[in-house]
Every structure is written in structure tokens, then in C-alpha cells.
Amino acid sequence: MPPALRRALAVLAGVGVAIGIVFAVESISSRFYPLPPVTSYSDPEAMTAMMSRLPRAALLIVLLGWGLATMAGAWIAARVAGRRQGPAWTVGVVLLAAAVFNMLELPHPLWFWVAGVAVFLPAAWLGGRLAGAGMS
């Protein structure tokens, strides 16, 4: 298999695994902290009110899930790519972009923005390193 194709498939596998973990963690979180009722998901004021009523612990679980998912996805990507760090970083950047999009769509508190943006790249680096990837 050509190395570029292998790296692309590694990134797809890593992102897929990470998305699955995020959905699982957020599903578990919603059992402990169900979303408050919302009149309309298209109403920005209603969504702001709903997000402001979420307990901090619910958002912390989401952050933990994002970090674990990124680390696992980066680990998978690095392993599939032949222990290369590049695909692990790519998984981290793709997930960071998805999280920023999510935070732009739903109003999140400032502390969550800061922590949310900060979690992805260190988790991607750690996942790659745990997979035995070098700095290439």
C-alpha cells in the first residue's frame, strides 16, 4: 500500500474511533445530566439558556471525553500509519476543528472554550507518543 494512502486511512480510522468515543461519553454524560428542555433548537436565546443551566460537571465530562477520544484516535492513527506522529497530529487538528464548529453553533462558557481548545493537540501528541511514534 502506498504510504500516503496508508496515512490517509490511518487518519480516517483515528477520527472514526474518536467520534465513536465522543458519542459514547456524551451519551453516558446525558444519562447523568439530561439536557434541560428547550423550546426550539434553532432559537439562539433558548440554546443559550439551556447551556447556561447545564451543570459544570456535565461539561467537564465532555472535555474528558474529547481528550480521551483524541488520544485514542491519535494512537490508532499513529499505529496504522506505521508509528508516525503526523497522522496523530492530523487527527487532533480535525477534532479541534469539529469542536470549534460545535462551540460556535452552541453557546459555551468562556472557560469551556479555553479548556476545549487546549485539550486536543496535547492529547493528539500523547496518543502518538504512546503508539511509539517519533517526531516525523
Q: Tens of pLDDT along 114-134? A: 999 999 999 999 999 999 876
Closest C-alpha among 17, 18, 19, 129 to residue 84: 129
What pLDDT score was predicted for residue 46? 77
CA angle at residue 101 from 98 to 106, to 5 degrees? Answer: 125
Q: Residue 17: what residue type?
A: V
What pLDDT score was predicted for residue 107? 85
Say if pTM beats, i.e. exceeds, 0.75. yes
For range 80-97, the mean pLDDT: 95
Q: CA 20 to CA 100: how far, in whole Å?
A: 18
- Which secondary structure element, helix H or strand E, spans residue 99, and what is its range? helix 85-105
DSSP state of 37: P
Which has more confidence, 45 or 123? Answer: 123
What pLDDT score was predicted for residue 43? 78
pLDDT band of 59, cuts 50, 70, 90: very high
